[in-house]
Structure formats: structure tokens, C-alpha cells
Amino acid sequence: MPAPPAGPGVAPPFVAPPTEGRSARLWLGLGVGALAVLLCCGGGGAAVVGLLISNVQAVREQGRAVTDDYYQGLVERKYGRSYDTLCDDAQRRESRAEFERRVAAEPQIDSYRVGEVDPSTLTAPVSVTFSGGNRGQQEVTLAPDGQTGAMEVCGVS
């Protein structure tokens, strides 16, 4: 059967797609998509890194502050203040009265200097000067409180 002749008002069954500029639009679209993915992933990665850094800084600051509170109580002979900085396990091992008797019998600390808190081991070195002029090095072990998340002193060696 022969095809009908072309006449007025006859349109081809489909329009041919344009061929010029097609690859430029494809590469432009891919570039914009890659940029969007890069911004989303890069922004998320930067946020994660920022959270980790701020968490480490918070641990260092809290650890240093609680260690300072503990030793300031010892220097001022306000042993109850030092006892309040202890973690629950340390307070279970030793009552407030026992703690106060023990530290009052130990060589008195006249001054101290808290070093950098190690966030991976949760320890802080402390240089102490005892009454009489002797010096020593102590290490404070820290732990986060289970309920509040605040740092507490769990041991001194």
C-alpha cells in the first residue's frame, strides 16, 4: 500500500529533536548537580568536624574547671568543696567525713598548676607544691556524670 500523498494540513508524526547545543546543556546540568552534591556533602562533613572539635574543647574546658575546683578546695582547706567534685563511685568508696579526715592528714597543698586535659584518656596532670616547699606531680582521672554529663574527678594518683 502506498503512502498517502502530502497535502495541505498534513504534519509529520513527530518533530525531530534539536541537535545543536545538546551536549553543552548536558554538561552544564551535570556540573550544577555535582556542585550541589559537593556543597551538601562538604557542608555536612564540615559540620561533623566542627562538632568533634567543639566536643573536644568542651571536654578539655570542663575537665580543667573541675580539676581546678578540686584543688582549690584543698588549697583553701575547704575539703567539702573538693568532695563535691568527686564522681559517684569515689563518693561511694569514701564518705565525706572519711575524705575530709584523709586529706587533712595528708601533706597540705599550697599551690598547683593544672596541665592540659587529655580527652582520649580523660586525665589531667597537676603540678603541686606542698607546704614546706616540696613539689610533686599528680594525675587526675576524670569521668562524665551519668545524669548531667558534667565532668567529675574520679581519682588522683
pLDDT in tens, 26-48: 788 888 888 888 777 777 777 77
> For 106, which DSSP code?
S
pTM, 2 dp: 0.69
Give the distance, in angstroms, between the CA of residue 25 and the centroid of all CA atoms in the same chain.
Answer: 44
- The one-letter amino acid code at 52 reads L
- Mean of the pLDDT values across residues 75-79? 95
| Average pLDDT value for the chain | 86
Query: Which runs of consecutive H residues, i.e. helices, occur in the chain?
Result: 22-75, 79-84, 88-93, 96-105
Residue 17 pLDDT exceeds 70: no
Bridging pattern class, strands 123-130 and 151-156: unpaired
Q: How confident is the model at residue 132 (pLDDT cuts 50, 70, 90)?
A: confident
Backbone dihedral angles phi then psi of residue 155, each to the nearest 5 degrees: 180, 155
Distance between CA atoms of 36 and 34, rounded to whole angstroms? Answer: 5
- Mean of the pLDDT values across residues 17-33? 75
- Mean of the pLDDT values across residues 132-140? 93
pLDDT tens-digit series, residues 108-131: 999 999 999 999 999 999 999 999
* Residue with the larger pLDDT of the pair 10 and 58: 58
Q: How confident is the model at residue 156 (pLDDT cuts 50, 70, 90)?
A: very high
